[in-house]
Amino acid sequence: AQSVSQHNHHVILSEAASLELGCNYSYGGTVNLFWYVQYPGQHLQLLLKYFSGDPLVKGIKGFEAEFIKSKFSFNLRKPSVQWSDTAEYFCAVNANAGNNRKLIWGLGTSLAVNP
Amino acid sequence: GAVVSQHPSWVICKSGTSVKIECRSLDFQATTMFWYRQFPKQSLMLMATSNEGSKATYEQGVEKDKFLINHASLTLSTLTVTSAHPEDSSFYICSARKRLAGISHEQYFGPGTRLTVT
């Protein structure tokens, strides 16, 4: 069965620290990869996505992620976090097969950035 | 843009009653809508996938007679929680995929509906 694992459940950083959140998936075929963010009290928003092409994807608010096919990974990075980045981060994978092509979600990572 | 709205944003109901939640794609047509449930500090749990004009596909363990889904048009899907019980209290989120999504399959999320059953 397809699955997505996020290794860090809770991360606490100080402002200006660098961030890397791990995401691994289990599916051998073609995938679409997503990172979503949920700020406190707000709905899910797309941070970035990968479908094909350059494996280094740049998203909003200075975030980027790198797709490494050989490692089945799609880690999220930001060189310098801000207090406003405090949120829940979800990695999701859409296996490019089947009719509905539902998203498979990781359990999420709670990021707290101290000012 | 791709805006998805949900109504109501929060609802309190008594045990045994039914509650309907609406999900609308405001500026695009959505052939597929998804209903999720989110528990506090946890990930999203997909409940069902709804395609316009056909029956919803429910995930394993989700009671289709309890969570009725209707996707009558390309911009509206509804979730009805029938005979609600306190354990149904949760945050319900819908998402929609554009009709001409192509290979992207990107989903756009609504703001969620907080259901509290007393």
Quick check: A24 and A2 in contact, CB under 8 A? no
pLDDT at A97: 55
Nearest to B57 among A51, A100, A107 (CB): A100
Q: What angle do CA B94, A19, B3 make, to 5 degrees?
A: 25
Q: 3-class DSSP state for residue B18?
A: coil
Which of A43, A52, A88, A111 is the mutation pick for testing B, counting most B CBs within 10 A?
Answer: A43
pLDDT band at residue A2 using 50, 70 and 90 as cut-offs: confident
Q: 3-class DSSP state for residue A95?
A: strand
pLDDT at B103: 57
Pairwise pLDDT comparison (B86 vs B106), residue with the higher score? B86
B41 touches chain A (CB under 8 A): yes
Closest-CA distance of chain A to residue B62, Å: 16
Tell me the CA end-to-end span of chain A in Å, nearest whole number.
41
pLDDT at B13: 95
pLDDT band at residue B53 using 50, 70 and 90 as cut-offs: confident
Quick check: B3 and B105 in contact, CB under 8 A? no
How many C-beta atoms lie closer than 10 Å to residue A66's C-beta?
A: 16
Quick check: B28 and B99 in contact, CB under 8 A? yes
- Report the percentage of chain B scoring pLDDT > 90: 65
Does residue B107 carry a pLDDT above 90? no
pLDDT band at residue A100 using 50, 70 and 90 as cut-offs: low
A102 with B46: Cβ contact below 8 A: yes
Distance of CA B99 to the CA centre of its chain: 17
B44 touches chain A (CB under 8 A): yes
Closest of A58, A109, A107 to residue A86, by C-alpha: A109
